[in-house]
């Protein structure tokens, strides 16, 4: 008994672990809520693209500030919002297919980011942090920023819950109810960008899409209403953060990867065992029928 308690408490003796866990929980919750809309509207690729496209913003912030965290945060946020709006506009003017356009923009921006970072002396280490996160390097200031921006995203999602619900389920209804559909769409893109920016330090650019989509997709498998889907996704997102960090502490693997692996494992369990939507259920129904 005391042995198990020790297992749980030991990592918490380090302040950086406590900060890391707090950050991972906040990021897990915010990603899951915004991710719910992304999963329901089929925006996973867009989210992945947006995360990668933020890299040049991070790089510029890094270069102008000489490595200080806060300027990087604001530069990333600026780039994220501008790119989100840009992608929204590209999607509208359909000279080429939307996913092609997004693919071109995102890989171009990503390459620019890598090029900028490669001009620095500490190239390899920094790039790894930006790509895969550095949750154990979270400072108290980072934590506050995460809480502030994450809280803002959370409040907006809850405030416009019913509008985003209609927009996701039936865009034509949103128009006939005269909801400001265009404004809401761009608002959602901005929320996604902000969520990505606050999550950068936890999972990094390359693994971002997992935090946005995997918990939400798991919630989708486990429930039949959007409210509970969000709640389940948030719990899974937060839980993955905590379990992932313990895992990374004891097994000594990269923290971002550990968090994403836990998410993925929970998803796979739900995929097989979920009532109604799970594979096992379908198989049993098939045999019964």
Partner 1 sequence: MLDKIGIVKPVAHQSNAAILEVTDLTVAYNGTRALDDVSFRLEAGERVAVVGPNGAGKSTLFKVIAGVLEPTEGEVRVAGCSPRGHICIAYVPQRTDVDWAFPVTVEDVVMMGRFAKLGLLRRPGREDRDLVRRCLETVDLTAFARRQISELSGGQQQRMFIARALAQEAQLMLMDEPLSGLDIPAQDRILEILDELRGSGVTVVVATHDLNQAADFFDRVLLLNHTLLGIGRPAEVFTAANLQHAYGGHLRLIKTPEGLMMVDDTCCGGGR
Residues near partner 1, by CB under 8 A: 40, 159-160, 162-163, 165-166, 168-170, 172-173, 175-183, 220, 223-226, 228-229
> Which residue, 146 or 218, is less far from partner 1 as judged by CB?
218
Dihedral over Cα of 242, 243, 246, 247: its sign? negative
196: nearest Cα among 101, 81, 59: 81
**Residue 102 structure tokens:** 């997004």
Question: Which residue, 92 or 224, has its beta carbon nearer to partner 1?
Answer: 224
Which residue's CB is nearer to partner 1, number 166 or number 271? 166
Using the 8-state DSSP alphabet, how is residue 135 labeled? G
Q: Which residue has the tokens 């209609």?
A: 166
From the CB of 195, what's the least distance to partner 1, in Å? 20
Tell me the closest approach of the beta carbon of residue 227 to partner 1, in angstroms: 9
Closest approach of partner 1 to the CB of residue 199, in Å:
24
CB of 286 vs partner 1, minimal distance in Å? 17
Q: For residue 111, give the 3-state DSSP assignment.
A: helix
- What DSSP string runs through 207-230? HHHHHHHHHHHHHHHH-SSHHHHH
Nearer to partner 1, 169 or 273 (CB): 169
End-to-end CA distance of the chain: 48
Contact status, residue 233 vs residue 218, Cβ threshold 8 Å: yes
Among left, alpha and beta (phi > 0; psi -120 to 50; other), residue 94 is beta
The span from the CA of 2 to the CA of 261, in Å, is 28
Q: Judged by CB, which is closer to partner 1: 142, or 163?
A: 163
Rounded to the nearest whole angstrom, what is the least distance from the CB of residue 178 to partner 1 in the complex? Answer: 4
Q: CB of 158: closest distance to partner 1 in angstroms?
A: 10
Shorter beta-carbon distance to partner 1: residue 205 or 222: 222
Taking the C-alpha atoms of residue 171 and residue 175, their distance in angstroms, rounded to an integer, is 6
User: CB-wise, 134 or 163, nearer to partner 1?
Assistant: 163
Q: Closest approach of Cβ 91 to partner 1, in Å?
A: 18
Q: Which pair of structure tokens corresponds to residue 255?
A: 């923290």
């Amino acid at each position: 008994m005391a042995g198990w308690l020790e297992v749980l408490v030991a990592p918490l003796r380090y302040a950086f672990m406590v900060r890391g866990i707090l950050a991972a929980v906040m990021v897990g919750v915010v990603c899951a809520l915004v991710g719910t809309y992304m999963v329901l509207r089929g925006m996973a690729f867009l989210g992945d693209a947006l995360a990668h496209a933020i890299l040049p913003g991070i790089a510029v912030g890094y270069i102008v500030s000489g490595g200080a965290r806060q300027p990087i945060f604001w530069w990333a946020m600026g780039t994220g919002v501008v790119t989100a709006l840009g992608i929204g506009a590209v999607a509208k003017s359909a000279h080429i297919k939307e996913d092609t356009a997004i693919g071109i923009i995102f890989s171009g921006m990503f390459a620019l980011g890598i090029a900028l970072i490669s001009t620095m002396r500490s190239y390899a280490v920094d790039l790894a942090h930006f790509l895969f996160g550095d949750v154990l390097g979270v400072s108290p200031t980072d934590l506050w920023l995460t809480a502030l921006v994450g809280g803002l995203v959370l409040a907006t999602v809850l405030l416009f819950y019913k509008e985003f619900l209609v927009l996701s389920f039936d865009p034509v209804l949103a128009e006939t109810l005269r909801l400001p559909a265009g404004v809401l769409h761009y608002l959602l893109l901005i929320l996604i960008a902000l969520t990505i920016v606050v999550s950068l330090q936890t999972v990094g650019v390359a693994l971002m899409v997992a935090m946005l989509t995997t918990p939400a997709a798991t919630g989708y498998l486990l429930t039949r209403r959007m409210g509970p889907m969000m709640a389940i996704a948030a719990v899974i997102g937060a839980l993955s953060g905590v379990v992932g960090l313990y895992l990374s502490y004891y097994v000594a693997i990269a923290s971002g990867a550990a968090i994403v692996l836990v998410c993925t494992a929970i998803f796979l369990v739900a995929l097989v065992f979920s009532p109604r939507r799970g594979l096992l259920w379908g198989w049993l129904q098939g045999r019964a029928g």
